[in-house]
């Protein structure tokens, strides 16, 4: 009985709070009525239902969403559409090709798969909507808005603050053993003096051969060196691809900023990093950092801050700072990777505007929720020190620190660009120069851009790759034959 009374009192309290907060709900455009239709929000994952035991904040958000659905006479339903990647792209293509407007949709896509739909005109424009303000930094993820901008069109959006990505975790014990006060790193970050030079000096101080056997026992850093290249390039105000004055996607990897960034990152890695040893898996660095012989760990924030994170069982205490400020950069940066909300380009103009407008309201934080602290969640229980949360994560989640990577227009880095182009270019930095690598890869990158720009067909691109592979195989075969002939000649007995 006491439990029932308690539940009833709690329910009454929530109802009273909701009633008072309703006065703070936003003023909305009158006259928009979806006629009881269902608006499907289509992610590529199974969205969990509303919590049966909601927190106070969840109660407030649910009440706000219910108010919006009643106000606009619409029902919102989350429904998985395809799977991550090409499977979802195929679903979007099918929706657009059939032109079936009976279902209203907002589709959530990973940024690495929006390129083909963008170039083919499958997405509706959010910029052509006088009901929303895409410059409202309180609502929109400005990094994604910029990433999805083609000319005067914005073909997708994301709401809320971005999820921080590239960062530098550090092992407090390793730093202390080297005589480094790790608090000074946070202080430099706060004061704006946490730079490439400061980071490199610490890496040099940390890297040691303690037993004088010619092999380092302690390293300055380890981690995913692709994250190192990306953080360095974009932090130095560079990019691999961007739009030119004619709104054509072009290769920008040859700029001085990119060359400077890749050269510095390559030297840093070669001099101070614990890289992969023969036979180790690609993710060797996860256990290497936790083993306690590396000072810094270049990775992404989810490795430490998220629930069930990889660093949860690390014995040594750790901290985390942003990737250091670059010579040509004016702040701390990382490359965003948030999901993109798109509307299929199949509805009439007013219906499109209504969907976009409602979505902008539906994804807003409900009145009564302090969004400046709601993001913290369990991070204090997960992280080793408060400065990692209060100073690093709190700063990085502000939109101005996230930059979009337009190479994602050409495909997911791990799949389409990884084996043939992008991966070889970046991994090659460990033994080659940016200029030499770019000379070898630029023709392929130019062709990828041509496909995106509509100046080359996909079939022509595939044919080009086949011819290139055949030429390389023929060259390798000829070189092998020549080497074999030389070896035979050397083994032949000299003529009397």
Give the pLDDT confidence score for residue 372 in this predicted structure: 83
pLDDT tens for 327-338 read: 999 999 999 999
Mean pLDDT for all residues in the chain: 90
- Quote the CA–CA distance of 489 and 276 in Å, as a whole number: 39
Give the pLDDT confidence score for residue 193 in this predicted structure: 98
Give the pLDDT confidence score for residue 9 in this predicted structure: 41
pLDDT at residue 352 tops 90: yes
Give the pLDDT confidence score for residue 414 in this predicted structure: 63
- Quote the CA–CA distance of 314 and 291 in Å, as a whole number: 8
- Quote the CA–CA distance of 265 and 228 in Å, as a whole number: 7
- Pick the range with the lowest mean pLDDT from 228-232, 249-253, 376-380: 376-380
Q: Which two tokens stand for residue 44?
A: 């590529």
Q: Which two tokens stand for residue 102?
A: 């009976």
Residue 365 near residue 374, CB atoms below 8 Å: yes
pLDDT at residue 316 tops 50: yes
Closest alpha carbon to 396 in 166, 224, 181: 166
Give the pLDDT confidence score for residue 438 in this predicted structure: 83
pLDDT at residue 8 tops 80: no
Mean pLDDT, range 129-142, rounded to an integer: 93
Strand partners for 243: 249
pLDDT at residue 360 tops 90: yes
Give the pLDDT confidence score for residue 43 in this predicted structure: 97
- Quote the CA–CA distance of 160 and 137 in Å, as a whole number: 8
- Quote the CA–CA distance of 137 and 162 in Å, as a whole number: 11
- Quote the CA–CA distance of 74 and 38 in Å, as a whole number: 6
Enter the pTM of the model. Answer: 0.87
- Quote the CA–CA distance of 445 and 253 in Å, as a whole number: 10
- By three-state DSSP, how is residue 298 classified? strand
pLDDT tens for 170-209 read: 999 999 999 999 999 999 999 999 999 999 999 999 999 8
pLDDT at residue 469 tops 90: no
Mean pLDDT, range 454-473, rounded to an integer: 91
Residue 236 near residue 327, CB atoms below 8 Å: yes
Residue 257 near residue 327, CB atoms below 8 Å: no
Q: Alpha-carbon dihedral of residues 83, 309, 341, 96, nearest 10 degrees?
A: -10
pLDDT tens for 74-93 read: 999 999 999 998 899 999 99
416 pLDDT band, cuts 50/70/90, is: low
More confident: 17 or 259: 259
pLDDT at residue 246 tops 80: yes
Q: Which two tokens stand for residue 79?
A: 């429904």
Mean pLDDT, range 58-86, rounded to an integer: 96
- Quote the CA–CA distance of 146 and 175 in Å, as a whole number: 38
Q: Which two tokens stand for residue 160?
A: 């809320």
Number of residues written out for the chain: 496
pLDDT tens for 251-303 read: 999 999 999 999 999 999 999 999 999 999 989 999 999 999 999 999 999 99
The beta-strand segments (E) located in 172-323 are 219-223, 241-243, 249-251, 294-300, 318-321
Q: Hey, how many other C-beta atoms are within 10 angstroms of the C-beta on 267?
A: 12
Residue 429 near residue 127, CB atoms below 8 Å: no
Give the pLDDT confidence score for residue 494 in this predicted structure: 57
In degrees and rounded to multiples of 5, residue 57 shows phi and psi of -65, -40
Give the pLDDT confidence score for residue 12 in this predicted structure: 47
Give the pLDDT confidence score for residue 172 in this predicted structure: 97
pLDDT at residue 398 tops 60: yes
CA contacts within 13 A on the Cβ side of 274:
30
Q: What percent of the chain has pLDDT over 70?
A: 91
């Amino acid at each position: 009985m006491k439990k029932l009374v308690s539940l009833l009192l709690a329910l009454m309290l929530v109802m009273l709070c909701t009633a008072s907060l309703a006065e703070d709900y936003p003023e909305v455009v009158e006259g928009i009525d979806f006629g009881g239709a269902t608006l499907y929000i289509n992610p590529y994952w199974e969205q969990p239902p509303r919590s049966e035991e909601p927190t106070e904040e969840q109660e407030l958000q649910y009440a706000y969403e219910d108010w919006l659905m009643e106000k606009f006479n619409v029902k919102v339903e989350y429904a998985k559409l395809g799977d991550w990647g090409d499977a979802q792209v195929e679903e979007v293509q099918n929706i657009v090709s059939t032109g079936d407007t009976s279902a209203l949709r907002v589709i959530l896509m990973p940024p690495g798969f929006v390129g083909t739909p963008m170039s083919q005109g499958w997405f509706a424009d959010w910029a052509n909507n006088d009901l929303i303000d895409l410059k409202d930094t309180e609502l929109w993820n400005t990094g994604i808005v910029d990433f999805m901008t083609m000319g005067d069109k914005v073909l997708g959006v994301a709401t809320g603050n971005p999820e921080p990505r590239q960062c530098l975790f550090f092992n407090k014990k390793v730093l202390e053993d080297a005589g480094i006060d790790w608090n000074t790193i946070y202080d430099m970050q706060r004061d704006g003096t946490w730079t490439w030079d400061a980071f490199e000096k610490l890496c040099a101080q940390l890297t040691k051969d303690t037993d004088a056997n010619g092999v380092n026992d302690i390293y300055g850093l380890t981690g995913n060196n692709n994250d190192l290249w990306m953080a360095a390039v974009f932090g130095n105000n560079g990019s691999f691809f961007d739009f030119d004055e004619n709104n054509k996607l072009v290769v920008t990897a040859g700029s001085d900023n990119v060359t400077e960034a890749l050269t510095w990152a390559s030297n840093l890695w070669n001099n101070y990093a614990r890289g992969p040893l023969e036979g180790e898996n690609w993710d060797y660095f996860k256990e290497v950092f936790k083993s306690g012989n590396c000072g810094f760990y270049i990775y992404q924030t989810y490795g430490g801050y998220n629930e069930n994170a990889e660093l949860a069982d690390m014995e040594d205490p750790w901290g985390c700072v942003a990737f250091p400020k670059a010579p040509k950069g004016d702040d701390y940066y990382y490359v965003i990777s948030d999901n993109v909300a798109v509307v299929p380009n199949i509805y009439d103009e007013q219906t499109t505007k209504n969907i976009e407008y409602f979505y902008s309201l539906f994804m807003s934080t409900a009145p009564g929720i302090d969004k400046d602290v709601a993001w913290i969640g369990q991070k204090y229980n997960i992280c080793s020190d408060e400065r990692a949360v209060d100073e690093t994560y709190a700063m990085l989640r502000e939109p101005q620190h996230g930059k979009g990577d337009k190479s994602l227009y050409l495909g997911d880095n791990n799949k389409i660009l990884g084996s043939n182009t992008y991966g070889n270019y970046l991994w090659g930095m460990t033994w080659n120069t940016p200029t030499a690598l770019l000379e070898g890869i630029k023709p392929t990158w130019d062709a990828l851009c041509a496909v995106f720009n509509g100046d080359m067909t996909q079939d022509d691109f595939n044919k080009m790759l086949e011819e290139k592979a055949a030429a390389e195989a023929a060259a390798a075969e000829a070189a092998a034959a020549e080497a074999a002939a030389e070896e035979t000649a050397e083994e032949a007995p000299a003529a009397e």
